[in-house]
Structure 1
């Protein structure tokens, strides 16, 4: 496998505060990479910098073999790099379908877009029933499905998800992770930022742990999941992260 996304020595500062200190990360084609860490570790900053939504002071970002460090956000989206932001950020005054169509605003193949929206409705019948309803009336889990569906309509080569399970019921958390695995089985490369450490490590192939804007640990997710000392040192070692009954993800596809 070859790296479809590579971040090298990325440094990001907000004024005098450095949020990322020389962070490096790579995602191989067809894998799930999870980025873990406590609040304030720099996880969201990393995703925003990869998208070009914030500027990096130093470092380089390569996507599909090309340096995109100087590209604007919309250019990165057009090349297949797509982010589902923390908090979903659906436009609550728009309908479900209008929100989905926003993901396809760079596309001109309208019939294919219609077919893909139909497939989303088939996958999520609740959204189909409320396609002409304002997104404000949806539950948090339903809004997350809209946000992911919107991102998929941009036809990503790499999909980045920022805290997709945040604030969701256990039922919708399971649905979100089932969907992540399904998209990955179809060949999509995924970069997953997630507070639910156990769930994230159970689906990911590799993991990077950030601490105060620096890479603390990086490697095989299964090895990290089984290393209690690392979990306790960097992720709190909660019962959720150390649950022996969480399903294990095979180390190869």
Structure 2
């Protein structure tokens, strides 16, 4: 078996005449958290949508779990275990919490196992359990993100991609979210995390890529990138103390 759950090679994509992604390459190992950070308009969402198949690349290829999936339809990629939690959560607020969760499992036939996994999600997120029969519109932004994450997990991801999951959340929910990502990863789940919250993303990631205007500006070990002066000045306010804190936290959670 290949070491890589995801191998993106020289991927480019455009919207009309605008090049949104140019010659992007990335490898994600099994059981790894990889993060892609950068400003708005850097091409981060385009990258995820290209990997999932929602955007057709103009060149390059995507290999997932040893199979080239560049021309596969979206549903086939999801069935293979390539799952996205989209920016803005995209839950269906007119449907109940339970119905939203069941949507995540709509391709599965193992009904009894799905039921157990939904119960496990309710155990993990008691606020969802208490309102399972209510429309998802009743949830706060943070609770909606927990619902979106639970829905994605019911699709049985082998690689979970997350697009700006902390956007618009309170500090409490941001902390909880990154704890959950780290917890799922500790159980073997591979994660590709796109984030503007650069400091928190680098604290939990094993490797990092910095995107600028569709091109790779930096790529490598997350702790090393967190400590670079270029990243500090551009994204973390130029604080060497913050870089040291990132390194300390990463050591405390263990390195692969």
TM-score interval for Structure 1 and Structure 2 normalised by the shorter chain: over 0.9
Asked if structure 2 preserves the Cα contact closer than 8 Å seen for 1:224 and 1:231, the reply is: no
Where in structure 1 do 4 or more consecutive aligned residues deviate above 6 Å?
A: none
Per-residue deviation, 1:232: 1.6
Q: 1:252 aligns with which of 246, 251, 255?
A: 255
Matches within 5 A, 1:3-82: 3-82=4-83
1:172 CA displacement? 0.3
CA distance in 2, matches of 1:197, 1:230: 9
Say yes or no: does 1:196 pair with 2:187: no
Q: Is 2:217 aligned against 1:242?
A: no
Count of residue pairs the alignment pairs up: 252
Q: Does 1:209 align with 2:207?
A: no
Taking the aligned partners of 2:28 and 2:241, their CA distance within structure 1 comes to 23
Question: 1 CA distance for matches of 2:50 and 2:113?
Answer: 31
2:98 maps to what in 1?
A: 97
Structure 1 residue 231, shift from structure 2 partner: 2.9
| TM-score where L is the length of structure 2 | 0.95
1:90-114 CA-to-partner distances (Å, cap 9, x unmatched) read 0000000100000000000000000
> What is residue 226 of structure 1 aligned with on the other side?
227
Please give the root-mean-square deviation of Cα atoms over the aligned residues, in Å.
1.6
How many angstroms does 1:236 deviate by? 5.6
The alpha-carbon deviation at position 229 of structure 1 amounts to 2.7
Provide the rounded CA distance (Å) in 1 between the counterparts of 2:245 and 2:86.
Answer: 30
